[in-house]
Amino acid sequence: MVAPLRIGLAGVGTVGAAVMRLIESQRALLKARTGRGIEVVAVCARKARKKRDVDISRVRFLADPLALATDRGIDVFVELMGGEGDPARAAVAAALAAGRPVVTANKALIARHGTALAATAETNGVALNFEAAVGGAIPIVKTLREGMAGSSYARVYGILNGTCNYILTRMQEEGLSFADCLKDAQRLGYAEANPAFDVDGHDTAQKLAILASIAFGTRVNPDAVYVEGISSIAPQDLDAAAQLGYRIKLLGVAVRTAKGIEQRVHPTMVPRESAIAQVMGVTNAVTIDAEGIERITLVGPGAGGAATAAAVVADIGDIARGLRVAPFGRPTAKLAASRKAPMQRHEGGYYIRLAAVDRPGTFAAIARHLAAQGISLESIVQHRAGERAHGGEDPRSPAAPAPVILITYATTEDAVRRALQAIQRQGVVAGRPQLIRIERD
């Protein structure tokens, strides 16, 4: 008879309460599956007494996370307080240093201090599991870390932020503006009062940095991620994308290129038929391209108490079974430095939306500057009232001013930026050009 695995839980908010309920309600199942009983024996929270979805009166209460982390009465420390700094960081580090395995859902902590914490885990021969930090209930960390151990990853990309995908879905389906959809998302609780962390892409960047580290064996570093949010996306971009056979998603993309590992977060045009394009609302999805395996896509709930708790409990289950895998899939000493790949050197197709000034020669000037940078066009769409030119080269009779949409063949970001600067300098376009990168299947 193996003694039950004793859990110390720091943080009893929505996720913490869901974890406690799941462990309680699945007691028999967990024991059957992991061979060992699992019990929450102590918790730590800011307030001992507070209205909660779960009864914590039957477990020990500690006010100090650090004391819980090093408590001799627990076997596993589960960190659900959040925040990249202390007390989460200090508590996790202390637990690992004391030889206690750690499970955390804290993406900021892992993105910022993951490599150092992994090294501590390694030194002390204990697990550091963080499935819930990326993609909620989607087992993406396990899949990258264990499920494809013999595969060289070429690219990992996905929808990692439900708020952004919810907003883009509403914009696409209802033709609403970004601002209106954001307001709705806030009202429905899908977006924070301060939405910048989500809509500016930083949440996605932290999650991507974690996935990139596992996939490519680099030290996790969110500062190596190029980040662009979705606030500049207009309904007309979504319309144009649809007409051209694409959808616009905020993607996190980590890809091996000849110049190193590129990590980037930005609004992205994806082919409408791709699995990732089908993902609507708050759902998350990750696609893995590996050598010899064209594509594996995992789709599921990326947030929410129950989904996050499921991932946390699965991580606890692995510890109950005695599984221990290097946190980032290989020893920290073997992780390479993670450098920010310069976006000027990014290669791919581009969507460009210009407000062309209505006078003869405008289009010729645009075409000339693109050609000067060696940029070839796959499609040209020019809308006028009730009319649409598609694939034409140079409409000789410009009517009312209207946006011009261009889809380029693969080129470099540098070339596109230079061409657009030249076009803007010539005064043939009004306002700032819109630029959206295209990610092919």
Residues annotated as catalytic (active site), given as ranges: 207
Least separation in angstroms between residue 401's CB and a copy of itself is: 37
Nearer to a copy of itself, 169 or 434 (CB): 169
Nearer to a copy of itself, 241 or 299 (CB): 299
Least separation in angstroms between residue 317's CB and a copy of itself is: 3
Nearer to a copy of itself, 181 or 316 (CB): 316
Least separation in angstroms between residue 322's CB and a copy of itself is: 8
Q: What is the binding site for a copy of itself (CB under 8 A)?
A: 18, 22-23, 26, 29-30, 32-35, 131, 137-139, 142-143, 146-152, 217, 273, 275, 278-280, 290-301, 306-307, 309-310, 313-314, 316-318, 321, 323, 325-326, 329-331, 334
Question: Which residues, in sequence order, are CB contacts of 307 under 8 Å at separation 6+?
Answer: 136, 137, 300, 301
Least separation in angstroms between residue 410's CB and a copy of itself is: 25
Least separation in angstroms between residue 78's CB and a copy of itself is: 12
Residue given tokens 């779960």 in the structure block: 54
